[in-house]
Amino acid sequence: MTTEGRPRTIPELIAMKAAGRRIVMLTCYDALFARLLDATPVDILLVGDSVNQGPAGLDTTLSATLDQMIYHAASVRRGTSALMIVDLPFLTYQISIEDAIRNAGRVMQETGANGVKLEGGLPMAATVRALVDRGIPVMGHLGLTPQSVNTLGGYRVQGRDAAAADRLVADAAALEEAGAFAVVLELTPTALSARVTGALTVPTIGIGAGASCDGQVLVLHDMLGMNESFKPKFLKRYGDVGANVRAAATAFADEVRTGRYPDSAHSFE
């Protein structure tokens, strides 16, 4: 494992697209996992409002708060020197541009983040421009936008018909024009993802969006096999931490009940 060549700045990340280098992003919510991931070639750690769904056990991201995101992001920053992007939670940037600047500014000041991520296309372009003009890098998010799950009617693939696909392409162009440094595409058909990726000069990062994107992101706990009931088509598990946790806890319980732990090697004379 090596971190050599890992981007340290937003311009270096953008340059990866032109160089044909795929971008790797994982979610992270605490310092311990951040330290582990800091020693890997992962390019970006995303402190996502998905913390509400996996670790917190909720059905949506909607109840995530700004203070909650700042707490988790500050924890992650203590464990990593990698690029760190933080989700702006629901209603912290949609009400007004002034709110968006104030809240994104708090994230940057209090966490050491390298940028923020927000959801939406053309309607959010002016907000993106205002943030970028004030020195706050912005990553966009299109396709399935979890904060709009109630409007979208659930977690389903977006952009399947021609009109919806055209709107998504236009939204992506609007985000780039507004200054976004990258765009996440979530649950979009492979052909549409390829179309968007080819139309932009900034990177696309896919999740359930096929192999044509410039990079890929997964939720850490899903990728590690900790969220065992979550089985979407796009998810590939690269570990079985859930099984390891159960095995370790079972072994601990057995040794405590049989008197084998603590032994003399784990006790003070």
Mean pLDDT, the chain, integer: 97
Q: Which amino acids are annotated catalytic?
A: 186
Domains delineated in the chain? 10-238 (3.20.20.60), 240-269 (no CATH)
For 225-245, how does the pLDDT look when each residue is reduced to its tens digit (9 = 90+)?
999 999 999 999 999 999 999
b/e map 225-249, b = 16+ CB within 10 Å:
bbbeeeeeeeeebeeebeeeeeeee
Report the distance separating Cα 141 and Cα 171, nearest Å.
Answer: 10
Does 13 score more than 70 pLDDT?
yes
Q: Where are the alpha helices (DSSP H) in 90-240?
A: 97-111, 125-133, 149-152, 162-178, 190-199, 220-223
The pLDDT value recorded for residue 4 is 78
The pLDDT, as a whole number, for residue 5 is 85
User: Which has more pLDDT, 136 or 3?
Assistant: 136
Model confidence band, residue 2 (pLDDT cutoffs 50, 70, 90): low
pLDDT of 152 > 90? The answer is yes
pTM above 0.85, yes or no: yes
